[in-house]
Structure formats: C-alpha cells, structure tokens
Amino acid sequence: MYRLLNCVVWLHLAISSIFGYDRRGVSIVTVIVGDNPVYGYFIQSPDYDVALARALRTFPTTLSQVKRLSVYKPGTYSCPEAAALMPILAMEVDQLIRDNPRDFTVLITPGCSLEVIALGDFAREWDVPLMAVIAIDLSLTDTQRFPTVLTFPSSDQSSLVRATLALFERYSWSTVSLLCGDVNPSGADNTLFYATTCSGFINALEQSSQIDALNVFHFDARTADNEGYENMLKTVGMQSRVVLLLVPTARRLRDIMVTADTLNMTKGDYIFIAPRSPAVFVEGALQWRFNVTSDDQAFAAFQSLITVSNPLPQWKMITALMDEIRSQSQLVYNRTLTMEDSVNGLTVSAVEVMSSVTEVLSQFSSRQLKAMTGTDFRKHFLNRTFELESRSFFIGPKGMRVCDVDLYKMNVTNGEMEVVWEYKLISDTLRQTSRQNVIWRSRNGPPLNRPVCGFRGDRCIGSLEKSVVTTVAPILTVLVSFIFGAGIFWFFHQRTKGSVWWLLEEMRLISAVTHSNLGTFQSVQRS
Ligand SMILES: *[C@@H]1O[C@H](CO)[C@@H](O)[C@H](O)[C@H]1NC(C)=O
Ligand SMILES: *[C@@H]1O[C@H](CO)[C@@H](O)[C@H](O)[C@H]1NC(C)=O
Ligand SMILES: *[C@@H]1O[C@H](CO)[C@@H](O)[C@H](O)[C@H]1NC(C)=O
Ligand SMILES: *[C@@H]1O[C@H](CO)[C@@H](O)[C@H](O)[C@H]1NC(C)=O
Ligand SMILES: *[C@@H]1O[C@H](CO)[C@@H](O)[C@H](O)[C@H]1NC(C)=O
C-alpha cells in the first residue's frame, strides 16, 4: 500500500557480501524531501555516496556489512510542506526496517528543523539513530522526546552574535552601526541567511547591556549600488566608528569596503565587522583581489575589515573529494555540478555526517553491534571531536555540533584573510590565535569607540571655546583693571594736571601688555 505513494526508493552501493548467521548488517538510510538546489536530493546524494565509498576504502573489513539506502520524495517544497510529508516517508522507512530485520539502521536527513522534529518522533519509536545535517532547532536536544537524534549544523547565528559581542567587549566598543542587506530577501543569493542573521543581531544587540547606541540601516542588497553605499556610509560615519556589515555575497561586501575607502573610512579610524555564512555556494569566496585596476584600493580597504564565521571547510584540503563528488553526480545522477555548486558548506556537512557515522560504526565489533540500540549509538558521539579532512568539529554533550567562531583579519604580508581570534562557544571565551600582535590599520591601535572630538568633530570645538575662555579671561582681567587703574589715574590726573587719559606714559602700557602675554601663555600650558 505504501508503495503506491509517490516515493522513490533507491538502492545502491549495496555491499552486503558476507552474510553470516550471527553477523548484523547496517543500513544507512538517507531521507530527503525535494530537489532544493542547495540541500535537496541531487546535490546531497552524491555527497553521501562518495563519503561512504571513501569510508569503505578506509575500513574495508569493519564496514563490509554496510549498505546504503535512500528514501526520496521528488518535487519542490517549503519547510512546513516537507515536514507534512515526513510521515509518508516514515512509512517507507518503516517498511525498509521491516525488510531488513537483522540490520542496525541509521537515518541521515538534510531536512529542515520541522522535518527532523517530525521524523525524530518516529526514530524514537523505532529506536533508530537519526542524524540531522542542517537542522538547528534546540528542541531537538530534548533527550526525552528525541533520545536518538544528533544534529550537525555547521552554522549557527547565535554563536556569531556571541563572538561579535565578545570582540566588542575586548575593545570596549559600544556604539555600533548595523548595515543589513535584508530588504526583499530571497532564497537565491543566500539573502535569507543574512535576513535572519540581521534580525538575530538586532534583537541581541538591542537587549545587550554592552551596547550604548545602535543605529540600524536596512537596504536591498540586490539593487543598492555604490552611490547607495556611499550615502549610507556617510551617515554611518557620523554616528559610530564600529560598523557591522550583514551583506549577502562577497562581491557586494567588497564593493562596500572599496566605497568606504573612497570616503577615507579605512585609514584606521573605523572598523568594519562582517559576519559571514559558511555556505558560500551562491556567495562566492571573499577576495579583495578581483580586478587588477582596483586591487590596490581593495587591498587597503580590507585592512579595516574583520570577518566572523563558523569554521569554514578547508577547501584547499578537499579538492580531490570535491572532484569525486562532481564525477559521482555526473555518473549516477546525470547532473553536472559546477565548481560554484560544490563550493557549498552543506555539501561538506553531508560528507562530514556520513564520515563521522562510518567512523563510529567502524569501531564496533559485530557482537557489539548486535546489542546496540539507537540511544546507545547516539551516546558514542557526545563530547567527541571528529578530526576530518574538511575540518575538525566537536559534538557537544547535548548531541549538537558546537559551532565555534573564527574571526579573520587580513595579513598584509601575504594578502590572505587569516584567523586572528577564536571564539569558543562553551566557555564563552575569545582567544587570540596568532602569537604576533593584532595589526591595526592605524598606528595608534584599534579604533576608539568614540573619537576624542566626537563623531562630527564638534566636541573639540567645545574644548576650543574653553581654552579661548581661559586665554581671554586673564587678558580681560588685566585690561579691566588697567582701564580701571587708568581711569583712577586719569581722574586724579584730570584733577591735578587737566590732561587727557590717552596721554599715558608709554612705559606703563608696555608693562601691562607683557604681563597679560605671560598670563595667556601660562593658561594655555595648563589647559
Ligand atoms: C580623502 O583624503 C584625501 C587625501 O587626504 C583627500 O584628497 C580627499 O578629498 C578625501 N576624500 C573625502 C571624501 O573626504
Ligand atoms: C575592472 O575595473 C574597471 C574600472 O574599475 C572596469 O572598467 C572593468 O570593466 C573591470 N573589469 C572586470 C573584468 O571586471
Ligand atoms: C541526462 O540528462 C540529459 C539532460 O540534462 C538528458 O538529455 C539525457 O537523456 C540524460 N541521460 C540519461 C542517461 O538519463
Ligand atoms: C560531556 O561533558 C560534560 C561536561 O564536561 C559532562 O557533564 C557530561 O557528563 C559528558 N557527557 C558524556 C556523555 O560524556
Ligand atoms: C603573515 O603571513 C606571513 C607569510 O605567510 C607569516 O610569516 C606571518 O607570520 C603572518 N603574519 C601574521 C601577523 O600572522
């Protein structure tokens, strides 16, 4: 009956050669709803295939009983629609579990949080481990309801907020402007990530006692041009020295930095802080080198930039893996993945989930596996660091990947953005990674939260007035007393000689002026 439903079950990579009586096989089942170009079936499946094939090459003996199955529902669905379809896919999974009664089953899904919540309830009833690749909802760490669920999100906006606040605290920055490219967000261009991150940042900064003043500017990243950036930056420059940039795509971020340079905002008085998404699929990698003619300006501008992101995959280390994924996609799924398609944080996450599952599986003997429950299996991931080729990561005590944060600054020697601080989420600490001092654009060190003369330079006019007062007062005093004295002198002179007051002796006048000059000099020295 379930077979009548519009689900497709793919079976491949079935490596179930040696079936002994007492040996227990393993079924790794991926459960995917829809063909989303970023985390749907066609982009994710080759990742699992390749990761499993690689694990089989590494542990040919211990993983010999593993087979890979897939439950998939074609189409395009929103997150709630996909979640509503989950019970139907769960019936397919149920059938697979019944069909393979001797197997230990592990489920992997790249579904959104709502999908995983729906499937997680089934997983509890089956006592089958469920690995969520991108779902991040904290309710999934409730072990009463989801005793078999583990979540592996590689990006988490609350950790970005906390790391940014830790940086503000380190440098006593409390007057902040936030530029959000979150008007008209769409799935394309990764603007959705920045729209949700913007609202997350606004909420957190408004509530933080660390922030004295927050100015928020919203703009449409797709239509804004350099002139728009210029007007925005001019206003920002009058209100704060610390500028947060939540700007989708690396190209636009670069444009804004170059515009800031044109406005003389990259000489070290200002600092620009840009939280980034690790799913660089549609964003492109952030580079100041872009066009030889304007490179110099971008090189200067990027020295005033700090980028903030959850640990990025080490793309240079995994070029062979990415090549393998592209050819698997072509061969098995008849889809051509471009270079850009595969520079995708979620592709890497999929590989990491399959790799860590196979790593844990490879450590069990078949006897241990026979007694294994889903709840027990989950426990083997807790408090554990996985050192993978793509990056290392830690699964926390609650069964969720702990998203630490790296903060990058440009190394002017080689022009690369390098990790300068690491933020550790669990201990809430910011640690400088490089043994050398952090190099700031200005020789005076990091930008001041508030410039000495105020954002418009008007505070110093106030102090100028003060020094004018202290300078002029003694002169006036001297003059007044001189005139008063002269008046008396004149009065008596008039009385005695009858001459006019302006016929005073030259000597007296000179001594009075000298005295007032001395007084002026001293008061300037003092103020
Ligand atoms: C930036 O500084 C340069 C040289 O100091 C000056 O010529 C230019 O007018 C300044 N530009 C702006 C927009 O202030
Ligand atoms: C490089 O920049 C110049 C001027 O800034 C522009 O005219 C040219 O089209 C750019 N080239 C590319 C390949 O973007
Ligand atoms: C592969 O896809 C192309 C179109 O994208 C199609 O023309 C071709 O028939 C497909 N090949 C196979 C073997 O399905
Ligand atoms: C994980 O570590 C935490 C804190 O160090 C500890 O309380 C917890 O019992 C550990 N959990 C497991 C399963 O090892
Ligand atoms: C910058 O890069 C150079 C060359 O790669 C390296 O020797 C130097 O230590 C780096 N500087 C900092 C501050 O990390």
Residue 112 pLDDT greater than 70, yes or no: yes
pLDDT higher for 516 or 147?
Answer: 147
Find out whether the beta carbon of 436 lies less than 6 Å from any atom of ligand 5. yes
Probe target for ligand 2 pocket from 251, 259, 293, 296, with the most ligand atoms within 8 Å of CB: 293
Residue 465 pLDDT greater than 90, yes or no: no
Residue type, 145: R
Q: pLDDT value at position 94?
A: 96
Specify which residues 243 forms β-bridges with. 177, 272
Give the pLDDT mean for 269-283.
81
Closest among 120, 100, 98, 126 to 27, alpha carbons compared: 100
Q: 445 lies in a domain? A: no
Q: 276 and 408 in one domain?
A: yes
Q: 327 lies in a domain? A: yes
Q: 274 and 223 in one domain?
A: yes
Find out whether the beta carbon of 434 lies less than 6 Å from any atom of ligand 5. yes
343 alpha carbon to ligand 2 midpoint, in Å? 25
Find out whether the beta carbon of 144 lies less than 6 Å from any atom of ligand 2. no
Question: Which residue minimizes the CA distance to atom 6 of ligand 5?
Answer: 413
Q: Using the atom order of ligand 4, give the atom closest to the CA of residue 396.
A: 1
204 alpha carbon to ligand 3 midpoint, in Å? 49
**Banded pLDDT at 194 (limits 50, 70, 90):** confident
Q: 449 lies in a domain? A: no
Find out whether the beta carbon of 263 lies less than 6 Å from any atom of ligand 1. yes
Q: 301 and 177 in one domain?
A: yes
Residue 142 pLDDT greater than 80, yes or no: yes
Q: Using the atom order of ligand 5, give the atom closest to the CA of residue 436.
A: 13
Probe target for ligand 5 pocket from 406, 411, 436, 439, with the most ligand atoms within 8 Å of CB: 411
Q: pLDDT value at position 171?
A: 95
List pLDDT tens digits, range 396-412: 999 999 999 999 999 88
Question: Which residue minimizes the CA distance to atom 10 of ligand 4?
Answer: 397
Angle, alpha carbons 236-239-243 (nearest 5°): 50
Residue 487 pLDDT greater than 90, yes or no: no
Find out whether the beta carbon of 76 lies less than 6 Å from any atom of ligand 4. no
**Banded pLDDT at 12 (limits 50, 70, 90):** very low
Give the pLDDT mean for 462-472.
57
Q: 450 lies in a domain? A: no
Q: 62 and 175 in one domain?
A: no
Least confident of 116-130, 176-190, 258-272: 176-190
Q: pLDDT value at position 294?
A: 62
Say how far apart CA 182 and CA 193 lie, in whole Å: 9
Domain end call among 350, 368, 395: 395
User: Distance of alpha carbon 350 from its chain centroid, rounded?
Assistant: 20
**Banded pLDDT at 436 (limits 50, 70, 90):** low
Q: pLDDT value at position 365?
A: 87
Average pLDDT, the chain: 82
Find out whether the beta carbon of 426 lies less than 6 Å from any atom of ligand 4. no
Q: 219 and 150 in one domain?
A: no
Residue 335: which residues within 8 A CB-CB, separation 6 or more?
Answer: 42, 329
Q: pLDDT value at position 479?
A: 61
Residue 445 pLDDT greater than 80, yes or no: yes
Domain end call among 344, 368, 395: 395
Find out whether the beta carbon of 226 lies less than 6 Å from any atom of ligand 1. no
Probe target for ligand 2 pocket from 261, 291, 297, with the most ligand atoms within 8 Å of CB: 291
Say how far apart CA 128 and CA 106 lie, in whole Å: 6
List pLDDT tens digits, range 496-527: 444 333 333 333 333 333 333 333 332 233 33
Q: 91 and 25 in one domain?
A: yes
Residue type, 309: S
Question: Which residue minimizes the CA distance to atom 4 of ligand 2?
Answer: 293
How many separate domains does the chain show? 3
pLDDT higher for 146 or 315?
Answer: 146
Q: pLDDT value at position 505?
A: 35
List pLDDT tens digits, range 207-234: 999 999 999 999 988 888 888 899 999 9
Helices (H), 208-337: 226-237, 250-262, 295-301, 319-333
Q: pLDDT value at position 481?
A: 63
pLDDT higher for 346 or 484?
Answer: 346
Q: 171 and 41 in one domain?
A: no
Q: 275 lies in a domain? A: yes
Residue 457 pLDDT greater than 90, yes or no: no
Give me the CATH number covering residue 34. 3.40.50.2300
**Banded pLDDT at 283 (limits 50, 70, 90):** low
Say how far apart CA 241 and CA 310 lie, in whole Å: 25
Q: 285 lies in a domain? A: yes
Q: pLDDT value at position 62?
A: 86
Find out whether the beta carbon of 496 lies less than 6 Å from any atom of ligand 5. no
374 alpha carbon to ligand 2 midpoint, in Å? 57
Q: 230 lies in a domain? A: yes
Find out whether the beta carbon of 184 lies less than 6 Å from any atom of ligand 4. no
Question: Which residue minimizes the CA distance to atom 13 of ligand 2?
Answer: 291
Q: 334 and 409 in one domain?
A: no
Find out whether the beta carbon of 76 lies less than 6 Å from any atom of ligand 1. no
Domain end call among 373, 395, 417: 395
Q: 88 and 146 in one domain?
A: yes
**Banded pLDDT at 56 (limits 50, 70, 90):** very high
Q: Using the atom order of ligand 1, give the atom closest to the CA of residue 262.
A: 13
Q: 176 lies in a domain? A: yes
List pLDDT tens digits, range 319-347: 999 999 999 999 999 999 887 777 788 89
Probe target for ligand 1 pocket from 226, 262, 264, with the most ligand atoms within 8 Å of CB: 264
Query: 158: which DSSP letter?
Result: H
Strands of the 305-309 sheet, one edge to the other: 213-218, 175-180, 242-246, 271-275, 305-309, 405-411, 416-424, 429-432
Q: pLDDT value at position 285?
A: 61
411 alpha carbon to ligand 5 midpoint, in Å? 6
Residue 125 pLDDT greater than 70, yes or no: yes
% the chain with pLDDT above 70 = 79
Q: 215 and 363 in one domain?
A: no
Q: pLDDT value at position 522?
A: 29
Which range of residues forms the domain containing residue 469? 459-526
Find out whether the beta carbon of 383 lies less than 6 Å from any atom of ligand 4. yes
Structure tokens at 521: 């000099």
Q: 231 and 194 in one domain?
A: yes
pLDDT higher for 300 or 498?
Answer: 300
Q: 324 and 267 in one domain?
A: no
233 alpha carbon to ligand 1 midpoint, in Å? 15
List pLDDT tens digits, range 157-184: 889 999 999 999 999 999 999 999 888 8
